[in-house]
Amino acid sequence: MKRRSFIQKTALSTGALSLTGTLTYANQFTSAGNAHQFNLKYAPHLGMFKHLAGDDPIDQLNFMADQGFTAFEDNGMMSRDKAVQEKMGDTLAKRGMTMGVFVVDKGGNMANTLAAGKQEHLDIFLDGCRRAVDTAKRVNAKWMTVVPGGYERNLPIGIQNANVIEALRRGAEILEPHGLTMVLEPLSDSPDLHLQTSEQTYLICKGVDSPSCKILYDIYHMQKNEGHLIHNMELTWNEIAYIQIGDNPGRNEPTTGEINYRNVFKWIHEKGFDGVLGMEHGNSKDGKEGEQAVIDAYKQEDNFL
């Protein structure tokens, strides 16, 4: 599943985001006192539990919290109405949930590749970073996803990497005073993407040399592109600030594919990771049954102590 399709699917599945705070969820489901105690900060997204919690985003956030999830991520947060962002931010704060990543709008895509070294592409990226600061303040976010875009095939790879590093340094100058961090995500969606391995992402982060530019290690994408998950996370660990989850094949919840997530989660926990693990995947089954299966899968794979 490509990132654009994933964002569109999750956005559409939530329907219109109301500001009413229907409270229908609170009357139907268990209280926070019965929440499961997870060992790591797993972060669902809107639409993942819509059949159990309803369409209202605030009800969905409360449902996540009552199940024991202590974080949340929303790729499309920048496109949401400001009032909705503020209400979601307030709810996250009240429920003690950590806001995970959102995607920097036009932060780099196949039509706006930072590898090309073009001023017009840089200007679009930097504008996205400036607007991302305002969004981050509304929802108390710290991390935002950046994908540098596609290859510039008429340039040597070293020149492309240098162009990306220079653009990201400029972005870091905007984010660093606010304590914000862009996390670079290597992807498996297309062979035309410039950033595809943890090794290359590590090199670029070292070149940018800023606390505001780190790695988003998406386990699903990296299983497809390079494998050796724990080995490669160990090699790049001091630049990893954010992790995302999805089993392979299928990009659904853990236990549905080939990745031994219990061992991976155990290793991440033993590293002392206190950040967010975004649940950037689909549900393997439809409806309430499928949503409960996601919750049960995380309880099972988190049981590593």
Give catalytic residue positions.
185, 280
Tokens of 147: 């994908």
In degrees and rounded to multiples of 5, residue 240 shows phi and psi of -85, 125
Asked if residues 67 and 38 have their Cβ atoms less than 8 Å apart, the reply is no
Residue 110 makes CB contacts below 8 A (sequence gap 6+) with 149, 150, 190, 192, 193
Rounded to whole angstroms, what are the CA distances from 67 to 30, 150, 221? 8, 39, 27
Asked if residues 65 and 44 have their Cβ atoms less than 8 Å apart, the reply is no
Instruction: Provide the CA 232 distance to its chain's centre, in angstroms.
Output: 19
Q: Is 258 exposed, middle or buried (CB count within 10 Å of its CB: 0-12, 13-18, 19+)?
A: exposed
Asked if residues 119 and 78 have their Cβ atoms less than 8 Å apart, the reply is no
